[in-house]
Structure 1
């Protein structure tokens, strides 16, 4: 497995579009570019030895506070889960965030993503806020990790 920094948006979108749990927007390229436009960002993609993209992580400077860097999207294709790909992506991102002068990584997930919540808690992310939605499974959980 190889993690590549600043991979193409297209490779991240290719992985994103194959993950059933994620909302699929009409134009994923515009969706990604809108979030990242003009902001410091990092796009990581995990590739197999055959150079097939199987996981990704996108983060950016959402808060403009020189403290917190936002991990926006992360996912691994179902058939490649349980191979520590998410851990490799997150470890790489946390190191990059710290090296670029930020002291916190912030991430938002949904109540329905149990495995992601368990991962985040296991690796020292702390709950800081809950955004309540009409359906409890859609509640957004916001966590941060001091780096």
Structure 2
């Protein structure tokens, strides 16, 4: 039997619940930083839940009238490779398109190879590189044009 997941627009607290179950995130993003970054910006907090428990999230916000930034996201370790990140990405892209954005941008790092693969296989293109002193900590910039295909 296929596991059923619920997807909904959630809260920062929902996202932080998931964040605690992601071992790769050594430095947790403080709630205050999340609130400050999203304040006064059009934003979206998407949550995936199983049995009413948040298990994945994707947070993004408006960079400009035409560009949406996919900022943070993650899937609890016990729920990976089930298509949840893909579903969240697709829902975020659909929402951004409905809101009139023409592109979504995102940054990731070499130390997250699954995310890099997901982005490339989903039509995101490399658009830049941010050198942060080491290959592992440097950020790769991606962009994906949105359109009504």
Q: TM-score range, shorter-chain basis? A: over 0.9
* Number of corresponding residues: 141
Runs of 4+ off more than 3 Å = none
Q: How far off is 1:17 after superposition?
A: 2.3
Q: Report what 2:58 is aligned to.
A: 57
Aligned to 1:11: 14
SS in 2 for 1:94: helix
Counterpart of 2:31 in structure 1 is 29
Q: Which runs of 5+ in 1 are unaligned?
A: none
Unaligned ranges ≥5, structure 2: none
Pairwise CA RMSD: 0.9
1:28-83 per-position Cα deviation (integer Å, ceiling 9, x unaligned): 210110110000000000001x101000000001x22x111000001000110001
Structure-2 separation of matches of 1:87 and 1:120: 9
State the TM-score, normalized to the length of structure 1: 0.93
Superposition pairs of residues 1-147 of structure 1, within 5 angstroms: 1-5=5-9, 7-22=10-25, 23-25=27-29, 28-48=30-50, 50-61=51-62, 63-64=63-64, 66-147=65-146
CA distance in 1 between partners of 2:42 and 2:128 (Å): 24
